[in-house]
Amino acid sequence: MEHTHGEGPGMDAGGEQERVEAAAAVLGRRLPERPRVLLVLGSGLGGLADVVESPVPVPFAELPGFPPPGVAGHAGRFIGGRIEGLPVLLQAGRYHLYEGHTPATVVRPVRVAAVVGADTLLVTNAAGGLDPRLAPGSLLLLDDLLNFQFRNALVGAVLPGEERFPDMSSPFHPTLSKWAMEAAGEAGIPLSRGVYAAVLGPSYETPSEVRMLARMGAHAVGMSTVLEVTVARAAGMRVMGVSLITNPGAGLSLATLDHDEVLEEGRRAADGMALLFRGVLRRLREGSPPVGSGAPPPPAS
């Protein structure tokens, strides 16, 4: 069957490839060097930007196809530079489905980062704890995902370099996870491991939804991350994810939930997060795990 450009299934997802390439061309010209890693900063975690050496900020407003993200606490810019000597790209502010952004817009920063050279995605987010043992301020290393957003940015045309049916049996790279545990141990930061469930939002969950997600195997719930990780895996990037638990899920404490609490907890935890990521980035600089499949590397002889 012949595909007619711009119509029906198989179309170029509304020119998404062109949008990504146009933004990557502008970003690439502004960055002093090719970043190895995209580090996505979740709600309130923008303080991580302070540890970047020789930072070069590139506001989303200067990139074609990057609308204003639009939530308090989300600045909307990339920052190029180095951390622990490794060239990185930070993303402060992200697009959420609950703001009305399309799945393609939500993942555009990841695709653009891949085009300018990043082969690793380190993603953070703010999340509600579904396990009563996860107190506010805890960090959770992500082992797996539950997509309760029921959207997927890979629907439609396959973009160059991405797979049609990406394997998701190991969304997070085992070596990166191992390094995160080591770095946390070194820095004396407690780090648990678990499953992140993404919901659409913007309303927080009901107590029954919190119980349901916990029974389905999730440890944390938030409104981001899953689309980005899925696209990163489709593009063969290796991925690590950390949730900052900002509050107990609805019904697990007597408190009601509000966004200011989420931001405040993020600011408090930024130092621990920064130490953790520094440790991982240092290990990445010293010896990269293989890109591609999330399968464990062969044992060292």
Residues forming the active site: 43, 74, 96, 98-99, 126, 223-224, 247, 259
Contact predicate 172/69, CB 8 Å: no
Hey, which residues between 214 and 273 contact ligand HPA (CB under 6 A)? 221-223, 246-247, 249, 257, 262
Among residues 130, 137, 123, 138, the alpha carbon closest in space to that of 205 is found at: 130
Nearer to ligand HPA, 11 or 257 (CB): 257
Taking the complex as a whole, how short is the minimal distance between the CB of residue 249 and ligand HPA, in angstroms?
A: 5
Smallest gap from residue 266 Cβ to ligand HPA (A): 9
User: For ligand HPA, which residue has the nearest CB?
Assistant: 128
Residues in region 201-220 near ligand HPA by CB under 6 A: 204-205
Nearer residue to ligand HPA within complex by CB, 223 or 274: 223
Using omega within 30 degrees of 0 as the cis cutoff, is the peptide bond preceding 9 cis?
no
The stretch among 72-80, 122-130, 179-187, 279-287 that binds ligand HPA (CB under 6 A) is 122-130
Select the residue interacting with ligand HPA from 20, 90, 126, 184 (CB under 6 A). Answer: 126
Residue 30, sorted as left (phi over 0), alpha (psi -120 to 50) or beta, turns out to be alpha
Cβ 247 to ligand HPA shortest distance, Å? 5
> From the CB of 262, what's the least distance to ligand HPA, in Å?
5
Cα–Cα distance measured from residue 228 to residue 110, given in angstroms and rounded to the nearest whole number: 7
Bridging pattern class, strands 77-83 and 53-59: antiparallel
**In the complex, least distance from residue 223 CB atom to ligand HPA, rounded to whole angstroms:** 5
For β-strands 120-129 and 238-248, DSSP reports them as parallel
Helix (H, G, I), strand (E, B) or coil at 178: helix
Q: Which residue's CB is nearer to ligand HPA, number 154 or number 227?
A: 227
DSSP per residue, 227-244: HHHHHHHHTT-EEEEEEE
# binding residues, ligand HPA (CB under 6 A): 13
Long-range (24+ apart) CB contacts under 8 A made by 256-261 are 257/128, 257/204, 259/43, 259/72, 259/73
- State which residue, 61 or 255, has the beta carbon closest to ligand HPA: 255
Residue 245, SS3 per DSSP: strand
Cα–Cα dist 111/23, whole Å: 10
Whole-number Cα distances in Å, 149 to 153, 222, 223, 261, 278: 11, 10, 8, 23, 31
By beta-carbon proximity to ligand HPA, the closer residue of 81 and 272 is: 272
Which of 216, 250, 258, 256 has the alpha carbon at shortest distance from 132?
Answer: 250
Q: Based on CB atoms, which residue is closest to ligand HPA, 141 or 183?
A: 141
Site for ligand HPA in 150-179 (CB under 6 A): none
Query: Contacting ligand HPA (CB under 6 A), which of 46, 65, 81, 128?
Result: 128
Query: Segment near ligand HPA (CB under 6 A), from 78-86, 95-103, 124-132, 165-173?
Result: 124-132
Give the pair of three-digit tokens for residue 51.
């540890």
Q: Where in 82-121 is the site for ligand HPA (CB under 6 A)?
A: none
Residues forming the site for ligand HPA (CB under 6 A):
126-128, 204-205, 221-223, 246-247, 249, 257, 262
